[in-house]
Amino acid sequence: MPPRYKDPVYRPPSEAMSLLIQVSFSCPYNRCTFCGMYKGHKFGIRPIEEVLEDIETCGQEYGNSVRTVFLPDGNSIFLPTDDLVRICEAIVDAFPGLERITSYGSARFVVKKTAEEWKRLRGAGLSRIHMGIESGDPETLKKVKKGATRETFIEAARLLHEADFEISEYILIGIAGPERSREHAVASATLLNEVRPHFVRLRTWVPVPAAPMYEEYESEEFRLLDPFEALQEMRTLIENLECETLLLTDHVSNFAAINGKIPDDKSDMLAAIEEALKLDRSDFRPDIIRRL
């Protein structure tokens, strides 16, 4: 029997090859105004016996071929630590070739677990947390109702680093609009410098009708960045980024593929942005341009 899922199920692009073991439904916060992923869907925790059953059947079916496992939905780290530990241990037992178990984890929920709990989870096999910072700009964080401050992100990163987790952080290009683009880019870089994530993944905000911010976009209260403004914002962010990290634009929403190690590849990445800025507006993908 294949694993069972309840829609909607999301995973980061970098988990495309991962086996998805759903442990919760929707998001226990669900109030970020830019996010439409789980709007209209009630948060719930899947019965642990059902999760363990799925792990067992997947183990029999796929065994050695599974290298990575991702635990949907939006904030599976919300689960009681004892249950998450049981789930991770069962995954480790079921898949002998396993290299990593990962989950989404908002900073507001990361800080609700103690350092000891994070170490237990790491010991059980959970090894990477995907976390949306979105912006380091306090005004923007408040406006989009992220439910976390710069301090929350720094504390969450401290707990995760201490327990030897890999941290994958997401920044939303364009989320502050043209008015606060520079503040957003600089503040995001300075926050990342303190958080020191292993990965920085850039996404460009795309309006989706389920997101509360969509109304602001529709009424023209909120303007999207055009491709050049988005690239300039990306350039400011990279210029101010000083921590050792791998920066990736591994998402279809972005206007250019800018990837590399900071600080080693920084000048090449900035040069690639300069080249992209020389393009004509019509050179950018029409399905994204249409929304502007």
What does the alpha-carbon distance between residue 87 and residue 233 come to, in Å, rounded to a whole number? 40
- Determine, following the binding rule CB under 6 A, whether residue 35 of this chain makes contact with ligand SF4: yes
The label of the residue with tokens 């439409």 reads 36
- Determine, following the binding rule CB under 6 A, whether residue 106 of this chain makes contact with ligand SF4: yes
Phi, psi values for residue 273, rounded to 5°: -65, -40
- Determine, following the binding rule CB under 6 A, whether residue 12 of this chain makes contact with ligand SF4: no
Cβ of residue 264: shortest distance to ligand SF4, in angstroms? 31
Cβ of residue 269: shortest distance to ligand SF4, in angstroms? 26
Site size for ligand SF4 (CB under 6 A): 10
Between 12 and 74, name the residue whose CB sits nearer to ligand SF4: 74
Instruction: For 211-224, give the DSSP string.
Output: STTHHHHHTTSS-P
Q: Are 159 and 109 in contact (CB under 8 A)?
A: no
Q: Are 64 and 97 in contact (CB under 8 A)?
A: yes
Site for ligand SF4 in 123-182 (CB under 6 A): 132
Cβ of residue 205: shortest distance to ligand SF4, in angstroms? 11
Taking CB under 6 A as the binding criterion, the range among 27-35, 224-232, 235-243, 271-279 that sits at the site for ligand SF4 is: 27-35
Taking CB under 6 A as the binding criterion, the range among 1-9, 33-41, 118-126, 278-286 that sits at the site for ligand SF4 is: 33-41
Phi, psi values for residue 286, rounded to 5°: -60, -30
- Determine, following the binding rule CB under 6 A, whether residue 27 of this chain makes contact with ligand SF4: yes
Cβ of residue 188: shortest distance to ligand SF4, in angstroms? 15
Between 32 and 262, name the residue whose CB sits nearer to ligand SF4: 32
- CA neighbor of 122 nearest in space, from 149, 152, 85: 85
Between 27 and 87, name the residue whose CB sits nearer to ligand SF4: 27
What does the alpha-carbon distance between residue 176 and residue 292 come to, in Å, rounded to a whole number? 15
Phi, psi values for residue 167, rounded to 5°: -115, 130
Query: Binding residue for ligand SF4 (CB under 6 A) from 5, 37, 243, 266?
Result: 37
What does the alpha-carbon distance between residue 244 and residue 263 come to, in Å, rounded to a whole number? 6
Between 30 and 190, name the residue whose CB sits nearer to ligand SF4: 30
Q: Using CB atoms within 10 A of its CB, is residue 184 exposed (0-12), middle (13-18) or buried (19+)?
A: buried
Cβ of residue 39: shortest distance to ligand SF4, in angstroms? 8
Between 68 and 106, name the residue whose CB sits nearer to ligand SF4: 106
- Determine, following the binding rule CB under 6 A, whether residue 217 of this chain makes contact with ligand SF4: no
Between 27 and 84, name the residue whose CB sits nearer to ligand SF4: 27
Taking CB under 6 A as the binding criterion, the range among 29-37, 177-185, 201-209, 224-232 that sits at the site for ligand SF4 is: 29-37
Distances (CA, A) of 3 to 21, 54, 56, 60: 7, 5, 10, 12
Q: Are 110 and 143 in contact (CB under 8 A)?
A: no
Q: Are 44 and 24 in contact (CB under 8 A)?
A: yes
Site for ligand SF4 in 38-57 (CB under 6 A): 38
3-state secondary structure of 32: coil
Phi, psi values for residue 201, rounded to 5°: -115, 120
Site for ligand SF4 in 68-87 (CB under 6 A): 74
Which stretches of the chain bind ligand SF4, using CB under 6 A?
Answer: 27, 29-30, 32, 35, 37-38, 74, 106, 132
